[in-house]
Amino acid sequence: MGEIPLEVYSEMVALIAPGSTLHIGKKRVPLTIEATRWKNDLLLLKFREISDRTEVSALTNDLVYISTADLPELEDGDYYSYELIGLKVYEAEGQYLGVLMEILETGANDVYVVRNDADEETLIPATEHTILEVDFDREKMIVTRLEWYGEGD
């Protein structure tokens, strides 16, 4: 039937629907989804351009990408992870902390991994109290350290 299973790690499954275009593999080959169906935890995809089972199996273990132009608009103050990676991070007082290298998804809030030139890491909780400003034009983020309340009470 020419289907291939996809492990879905995104919450935006609605973007993986018939008529949508996915970009597959290192060469990001554009393929149009003809049909989808769930089989247990896997989403089976059928592409318009490929009907042969052998040909579609050649895509096994390739990464799947969605064009940023296809992503929905976010509310003010919300950002996609890919937009934040690479920003230079500074404390409110001006001290350079490093570059945002990775985002760890935790239960309560994300944690930003910032690495400086000495390869030291700073972990910053991504909360409205710690992230003061994100400036994409200047490619920087301003953060503050939280005061610990309740100590000594």
Residue 92 in tokens:
């409110």
pLDDT given at position 125: 92
pLDDT digits (tens, 9 = 90+) for 33-83: 999 999 999 999 999 999 888 999 999 999 999 988 888 888 888 899 899
pLDDT given at position 145: 79
pLDDT digits (tens, 9 = 90+) for 82-131: 999 999 999 999 999 999 999 998 888 899 999 999 999 999 999 989 99
pLDDT digits (tens, 9 = 90+) for 79-92: 998 999 999 999 99
Residue 149 has pLDDT above 60, yes or no: no
Instruction: Count the helix, strand and coil residues of the chain and give each as a percent rounded to the nearest 5.
Output: 10, 40, 50
The structure's pTM equals 0.69
Residue 105 in tokens:
């998804």
Domain coordinates of the chain in residue numbers? Answer: 3-70, 81-143
Residue 30 has pLDDT above 80, yes or no: yes
Reported CATH class of domain 3-70: mainly beta
pLDDT confidence tier of residue 146, bands split at 50, 70 and 90: low
pLDDT given at position 60: 92
Q: How do 88-91 and 42-47 pair as beta strands?
A: unpaired
pLDDT given at position 11: 77
CB neighbours of residue 65 within 10 Å? 13
Residue 1 has pLDDT above 90, yes or no: no
CATH code for the structural domain at 81-143: 2.30.30.240
